Structure 1
Amino acid sequence: MRKVVVFSFAAAILFSGCSTLSQSDVFDSMNLMTSSKGSGELTWIKSAKEEEAVRSEVERLLKEPLSEENAVRITLINNRALQQTYEQIGISQSDLVQAGLMSNPLLGYSIGRGGGIRQSGVTLELAFLDLLWIPLRRELGGLALEETKLSVGDAVLQTLRDAKKRYIDARVAEESVRLNDDVLKSHEVSLQLATRQYTAGNLSKRDVLKIQDEYAHARLESIRLNRESAIAREALNKLLGIYGEQTYYTLSKEPITLGNQPRENGALERIALEHRLDFASAQKRVEYAAKEAGYSEKTALLDEVSVELGSEKSTGESRINTIGVKIPIPIFDMGQGRLSRTQSLYNQSVQNLVSLAVNIRSEVREAYATARYNYEMASEYQDSIAINRDILEQTQLYYNGMLDGIYELLFDQRRYRDTKIESLKAIGEYQKAQADLIYTLGGENNATQR
């Protein structure tokens, strides 16, 4: 029995020394995985030095007009909700380390006196069967860590998608304000001219009131568009994780263009199921639940077997050394509750996987349809802009020839502006639909190489 005990201690030391992936190793693996899907290099802020490096990088990127690429970059390194998600890797990796450790041996000491006799005893208790369960626990911990890595990777891709969409909203809103400001200035000049003409008796009061009404509409539209721009910009600021003077950045003035039409492909659903990280994470959850159910079945009756060493000495007597085994008697608790629970968890994970597969397939079809029809709407607006530009040019000619009044000219200017703003919003909606489609297909490469 002493040899058994010695072996137990040796094996405990051996298992405790088994190497596991560090938190940095797991994060780097996740970083490589998401980078291949379009995220770029990620940073996990875990020290003051890393915090300072991120702050410097953010300030450098904000000094120049903010592009979509740099907005995504700032979000992925500075968004604190995402940084919080990274800590799940640390938690799962710590659980894996813990799974590879044996329970600490229990050391007991007792002393007693009576009838002139003094008795003392020392005991050492070791959970012997931990040696058998450690490999199983480590396997479960490894599956849980892999599931966490995939889940965190999916959170990265979701954040990337959201950063693109919030940036598009901010750009479209700001450009809409600029378009409206051009028309507002024209209305203001026209109102000043109309007021002078009315004072000189060359314009009726009715016409002046119409022009005033157009100017009021333009001002109200300016207030509404500025409000939308402020809201869109703050939504972007939240994702960027910035505040204070950092929010005084300027957005890029690059033209907002429609881009390419989404390509139809009958294999989109298959591509999504092969590359979506949330689906891969759900698959790992099923594998974990199956292993957990098997682990519970194996340990149902003998999960707390322990070896006990004892040494007792009474006054005037020789020391007595003992060795024993403690085995639970399965009379009341035969593990039926744990077995039933793990089986239900397994069934639940399987149903969740099936449900997720159905939802992903639907998301793919919806995302493609949304992108396709948004593209068609944006294309139609391009034609509508051309028509309204021609109408405005004709009205300008009529106005110059005194065949139309200034009110008709202002009305057509407003309609032309409204069409351009609606076209701009339609392009933005298409670009956001493209961001959704890219995420739905599991990343940038899967969306472009299909």
Structure 2
Amino acid sequence: MRPALRSLAVLTVPLLLGGCIATAATDAYGPGDPGFVTVAGQVAPALGGNTPIWVQTPEQARAASERVRSMVHKKTISAETAVQVALINNRGLQATYSDLGISAADAWQQTLLPNPNISVGLLGIGQPGLVAFKTIEGMVANNILALLTHKRRSEIAETRFRQAQMRAAEETLRVANETRSAWIETVAAFETVALLNQARQAADAASELAEKLGETGAMPKAAQAREHAFNAELVGQIAEARLAARLAKEKLARAMGLWGADTAFFVPDALPPLPGRLMNKEHVEREALQRRVDLQIAKIELEATARELGLTEATRYVTDLGLVAGFESEREKEDGKTRLTGTAQVELDFAIPIFDSGAARMKKAEFTYMRAANRLAERAVNIRSQARSAYLAYRASHEIARHYRNSVLPLRNQIEEESLLTYNGMITNTFELLADTRARIGTVLIASRAKRDFWLAEAGLAAAIHGGGEAPAAGGGGEAAVADAGGGGH
């Protein structure tokens, strides 16, 4: 039996190494939240005090649901509260974290050696003079190529797992930015409704006055119709603004993952005032190149592709290499005695690269690497441009909003005050006073939209620096404006 034992010893080292590798892989990829600490650390600078949470058990889900309800149910929520709720309760984000766990399991699997195959056979069953059998054979087969390439495959798996972590971080930032932008749009939409309701008070007064003057014959029918039309158009604008506000709130609820009773939340009546000082981002391009998560994903993709290219090159000619070791023990009966003889056996199994030399696989791997390199370069160029554009929009939108606040609105207020004085002095009539009031409210609406565009631009700047998608473009369609009661614009 000694020759058989010597042959089986060939596989002893791979088996022992496999046990050590399994223990190390369990420590690296086996915890309940593999890689999530890295994800949380990556997004922390962009999220401020908000923290993502990975919900995995029913107990954690119940605790998260109770926490979310305590934060939003019948309460007025801030932008930071909305973002924190989304980081806890957005099911799409939780699905991305599950993808992270799947990637960890895949990486774990790649680090493990294939299990050996063991076969045992009996020959000469029922042989006369021998009990049960004549010959017993045992074989152990193992994949030697898997052992030789184990380090390369483990490095590739670890690289792909790091990429999965960055993808989870990117999705976390995307959800946070989407929620913040939805909150800004919702608050701005309800602020627009409030301003239009103020304009309607002036329109109702003008319409009622026009009707009374018409009854006395002091106002022609065309002028009366003009005031009534303005009032009717404003009613339609208010209805559209209310619909836009409700739809914006539903979008915010979706981003936060709310349904049922949890949708009974409120938002502030107006957006925060403009900040006194702006962030100074003279080196915004460099900062974006250092922090953008999607650029890190592209870099890791290039690294993983390079490692895969090296593995393809290493296994170009030898794609399968197996080692089979075994023994054969035969019993023979001679002179009334049973004699036992053993024979060792070792086999090497591999494919001969006659028809497939691996050239096609090498060419594919090389082009895959070039594709990854070009996409990385493209991403870097785009990130530079996005950072410049976002910073330009951030500063310009602040200048525009500040111009309306500091220059246009004071002039409109002064015009309305002077109009009120001349009205009290019986110099101007009621309709002129109401027209100046409507003009002031119209300017307030424009200033409100300019303030909304600034806060959206600030969210877009954060996304351009850290990653996670761009905020919606400022100055989109569907804006509410007070109708002009004068001229032929109806």
Same fold (TM over 0.5): yes
Partner residue in 2 for 1:24: 33
Residue type at the aligned position of 1:225: A
Matched residue SS, 1:41: coil
Cα distance in 2, alignment partners of residues 270 and 368 from structure 1: 13
Matched residue SS, 1:123: strand
- Alpha carbons 2:40, 2:51 under 8 Å: kept: yes
Whether 1:91 aligns to 2:107 is no
* 1:411-438 deviation per Cα after TM superposition (whole angstroms, max 9, x unaligned): 2222211111111111111111111111
Cα distance in 2, alignment partners of residues 421 and 329 from structure 1: 78
Q: How far 1:320 moved relative to its partner?
A: 4.3
Partner residue in 1 for 2:443: 419
Partner residue in 2 for 1:447: none
Q: How far 1:258 moved relative to its partner?
A: 1.7
Cα distance in 2, alignment partners of residues 86 and 56 from structure 1: 21
Cα distance in 1, alignment partners of residues 410 and 51 from structure 2: 43
Partner residue in 1 for 2:65: 55
Q: How far 1:262 moved relative to its partner?
A: 3.8
- Alpha carbons 1:283, 1:353 under 8 Å: kept: yes
Aligned pair in 2 of structure 1 residues 310, 2: CA closer, same or farther (>3 Å)? Answer: closer
Q: How far 1:280 moved relative to its partner?
A: 1.5
**1:294 corresponds to which of 310, 320, 323:** 310
Cα distance in 2, alignment partners of residues 41 and 443 from structure 1: 17
- Alpha carbons 2:39, 2:166 under 8 Å: kept: yes
Matched residue SS, 1:403: coil
Residue type at the aligned position of 2:53: T
Q: How far 1:116 moved relative to its partner?
A: 7.9
* 1:139-159 deviation per Cα after TM superposition (whole angstroms, max 9, x unaligned): 111111111112221221222
Which of structures 1 and 2 has the bigger CA Rg? 2
Partner residue in 2 for 1:104: 115
Cα distance in 1, alignment partners of residues 352 and 460 from structure 2: 57
Partner residue in 2 for 1:14: 20
Q: How far 1:25 moved relative to its partner?
A: 4.2
* Structure 1 unpaired stretches of 5+: 445-450
Whether 1:134 aligns to 2:143 is no
**1:253 corresponds to which of 263, 269, 272:** 269
Cα distance in 1, alignment partners of residues 107 and 375 from structure 2: 24
The more displaced of 435-444 and 30-39 is 435-444
What aligned pairs does 1:305-320 form with structure 2 within 5 A after superposition?
305-312=321-328, 316=332, 318=341, 320=343
Whether 1:72 aligns to 2:101 is no
**1:195 corresponds to which of 190, 194, 211:** 211
CA RMSD of aligned residues (A): 2.6
**1:368 corresponds to which of 380, 391, 397:** 391
Residue type at the aligned position of 2:28: T
Matched residue SS, 1:407: helix
What aligned pairs does 1:402-441 form with structure 2 within 5 A after superposition?
402-441=426-465
Cα distance in 2, alignment partners of residues 73 and 429 from structure 1: 23
Cα distance in 1, alignment partners of residues 276 and 167 from structure 2: 31
Partner residue in 2 for 1:380: 403
- Alpha carbons 2:191, 2:270 under 8 Å: kept: no
Matched residue SS, 1:310: strand
Residue type at the aligned position of 1:70: T
* Structure 2 unpaired stretches of 5+: 1-6, 334-340, 469-490
Aligned pair in 2 of structure 1 residues 265, 37: CA closer, same or farther (>3 Å)? Answer: closer
Q: How far 1:78 moved relative to its partner?
A: 1.1
Whether 1:228 aligns to 2:252 is no
Q: How far 1:190 moved relative to its partner?
A: 4.0
Cα distance in 2, alignment partners of residues 235 and 244 from structure 1: 15
* 1:110-137 deviation per Cα after TM superposition (whole angstroms, max 9, x unaligned): 5678998987644321112322222221
Cα distance in 2, alignment partners of residues 150 and 125 from structure 1: 39
Identity of aligned residues (%): 24
Residue type at the aligned position of 2:150: I
Q: TM-score if structure 2 supplies the norm length? A: 0.83
Whether 1:340 aligns to 2:363 is yes
Matched residue SS, 2:326: strand
Matched residue SS, 1:45: coil
- Alpha carbons 1:104, 1:126 under 8 Å: kept: yes
Cα distance in 2, alignment partners of residues 395 and 62 from structure 1: 45
The more displaced of 133-142 and 169-178 is 133-142
The more displaced of 104-113 and 358-367 is 104-113
Number of residue pairs the alignment of both structures matches: 444
Cα distance in 1, alignment partners of residues 58 and 235 from structure 2: 48
Cα distance in 1, alignment partners of residues 319 and 20 from structure 2: 21
What aligned pairs does 1:34-45 form with structure 2 within 5 A after superposition?
34-38=43-47, 40-45=50-55
**1:267 corresponds to which of 283, 306, 321:** 283
The more displaced of 92-101 and 243-252 is 243-252
Q: TM-score if structure 1 supplies the norm length? A: 0.90
Cα distance in 2, alignment partners of residues 256 and 195 from structure 1: 40
The more displaced of 215-224 and 35-44 is 35-44
Residue type at the aligned position of 1:14: C
What aligned pairs does 1:176-191 form with structure 2 within 5 A after superposition?
176-191=192-207
Whether 1:215 aligns to 2:225 is no
- Alpha carbons 2:188, 2:271 under 8 Å: kept: no
Aligned pair in 2 of structure 1 residues 213, 401: CA closer, same or farther (>3 Å)? Answer: farther
Q: How far 1:202 moved relative to its partner?
A: 5.5
Whether 1:326 aligns to 2:349 is yes
Cα distance in 1, alignment partners of residues 285 and 342 from structure 2: 75
Cα distance in 2, alignment partners of residues 320 and 216 from structure 1: 103
Q: How far 1:167 moved relative to its partner?
A: 0.7
Whether 1:46 aligns to 2:56 is yes
- Alpha carbons 2:324, 2:348 under 8 Å: kept: yes
Residue type at the aligned position of 2:229: D
- Alpha carbons 1:367, 1:433 under 8 Å: kept: yes
- Alpha carbons 1:38, 1:443 under 8 Å: kept: no
